[in-house]
């Protein structure tokens, strides 16, 4: 008579409880990633969302198409773009009004420069993070989600 395989310790199929993961796994899939926003003065904030929007506008030639590709509303995309244009002395895009052939948007030289500078800084930051946090990466759980970022009250900043 062969024994039935034992359920993992802590597993209860009626309650849907699964056993906890091992304390840590050594895996190369775990990465140290830094997400950041650059505040230039008090009005201009440049982060990954605005940069992705600019890159997608450059690829699609349209703010509405870029919004669709990124899965955001047109209104939100327009607000992000307007905040960049209002906070800068130079516009980041040139918009063409619609008509028979439709409108569109294209990046200005300043908009392309903003992407280039942000991506260069991002690449350097990610490279440094990989090196600096290498001793910790081997102890991180694969697939674990980071805790959501918290905003500090203004009095604590």
Pick the CATH number of 37-93+103-129 from 1.10.10.1100, 1.10.10.10, 2.60.40.730, 2.60.120.260: 1.10.10.10
User: 10 Å Cβ neighbour count for 125?
Assistant: 14
Which carries the bigger pLDDT value, residue 118 or residue 35?
118
Q: Are 119 and 51 in contact (CB under 8 A)?
A: yes
Alpha carbon distance 29, 132 (integer Å): 17
Cα separation values, 5 from 9, 10, 18, 36, 102, Å: 12, 15, 16, 48, 65
Q: For residue 44, how far is the Cα from the chain centroid?
A: 18
User: 10 Å Cβ neighbour count for 44?
Assistant: 16
Q: How confident is the model at residue 24 (pLDDT cuts 50, 70, 90)?
A: very low
Per-residue pLDDT, 25? 47
pLDDT score of 23 more than 80: no
Least confident of 44-48, 52-56, 151-155: 151-155
Structural domain boundaries in the chain: 37-93+103-129
Which carries the bigger pLDDT value, residue 23 or residue 71?
71
Average pLDDT over residues 46-66: 94
């Amino acid at each position: 008579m062969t024994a039935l395989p034992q359920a993992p310790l802590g597993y209860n199929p009626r309650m849907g409880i699964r056993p906890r993961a091992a304390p840590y796994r050594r895996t190369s899939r775990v990465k140290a990633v830094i997400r950041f926003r650059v505040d230039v003065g008090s009005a201009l904030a440049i982060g990954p969302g605005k940069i992705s929007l600019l890159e997608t506008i450059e690829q699609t030639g349209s703010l509405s198409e870029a919004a669709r590709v990124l899965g955001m509303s047109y209104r939100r995309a327009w607000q992000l773009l307007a905040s960049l244009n209002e906070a800068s002395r130079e516009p980041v895009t040139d918009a063409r009004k619609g008509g028979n052939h439709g409108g569109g948007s294209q990046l200005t030289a300043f908009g392309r420069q903003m992407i280039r500078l942000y991506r260069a800084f991002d690449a350097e930051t990610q490279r440094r993070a990989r090196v600096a946090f290498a001793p910790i990466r081997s102890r991180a759980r694969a697939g674990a989600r980071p805790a959501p970022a918290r905003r500090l009250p203004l009095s604590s900043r």
